[in-house]
Structure 1
Amino acid sequence: MQWLRAAVVLHVVALLFQAVTAGMLLSTPGGRSLHMASAVALLVVGILHLLAAILVWRPGGGSAAFIVPAALLLVLTVVQAVLGEMGVKTVHLPLGVLLFGGGVAQLGRVFPRRAVA
């Protein structure tokens, strides 16, 4: 479970960095290459997140409930990248916000709140 938690935190940080580089894309000449490089890093982190979710379930004997959100985030990341390459900003930008929200939701799943006694 520790690997999954680390992967989800890294995923959310990578999603946040992607948003930062999106702003740089609009304001600096080298922003496009940095945004594309961080997109590749985000894809790698998404794959690691999915692998960690699978390892928690299968060999770890944990819940499989983390797999579907991890897979959905990965698929949406690929769709996001394709839309970005195609220049479809009207869908690319809102999908980026949705991805960040999904990452934060997954963060809430792997770090559940504890009841205060």
Structure 2
Amino acid sequence: MTSSISAPPGWVVWSLRTLATAHLAGVLGQAALAGLFVTGDVDLLAWHRDNAGFTHTLLYLQLVAATLLWRPGRGPGWPALASLGLVVLETVQVMAGQDRLLGLHFPIGMAIFGLSAVFTLWTWRALQRGTA
């Protein structure tokens, strides 16, 4: 039996996969840089800040790709909402870091890593061209 719903375009699927993977790599880089910074290498704080900006930009691009998956790609809408939720969470994360609220900054970072990992895994396992 064939479905009357068309599959999202392959370029949208691959864009979302690539951006989610790159964002997850940036988030992992943030954790590594933070760990090295708190052990005494204070020069890595600037790297941590710069990587945060780069990683946050990747997340905005992920949001665009997830929105394109939904409309006009006819895929599910929840990835766009999940990406938007991550944008909000990551924005709070950046503000907490700038204000040196480490008791908030660290746990939010762990949540961002977990949510980003699950999202990225979904793009590779469940998001099949034709079965989104």
Q: Provide the residue aligned with 2:34 in structure 1.
A: 22
Normalized against structure 2, the TM-score is what? Answer: 0.81
TM-score by length of 1: 0.91
Structure 1 counterpart of 2:122: 109
Give the 3-state SS of the residue equivalent to 1:29 in structure 2. Answer: coil
User: Displaced runs of 4+ in structure 1, greater than 2 A?
Assistant: none
- Between the aligned partners of 1:107 and 1:46, the Cα distance in structure 2 is 12
Larger Cα Rg: Structure 1 or Structure 2? 2
Equivalent position SS for 1:73? helix
Q: Which has the higher helix share?
A: 1
Q: Structure 2 stretches of 5 or more lacking a match?
A: 1-12, 127-132
Can you give the 5+ residue segments of structure 1 that lack an aligned partner in the other structure?
none
| Equivalent residue, structure 1, for 2:22 | 10
The alignment's C-alpha RMSD in Å is: 1.1
Aligned residue in 2 for 1:73: 86
What count of residue pairs does the alignment treat as equivalent? 113
Deviates more, 1:95-104 or 1:54-63: 54-63
Q: Partner amino acid for 1:57?
A: W
Report sequence identity in percent.
27
The residue number in structure 2 matching 1:46 is 59
Counterparts of 1:88 and 1:29, CA distance in 2: 17
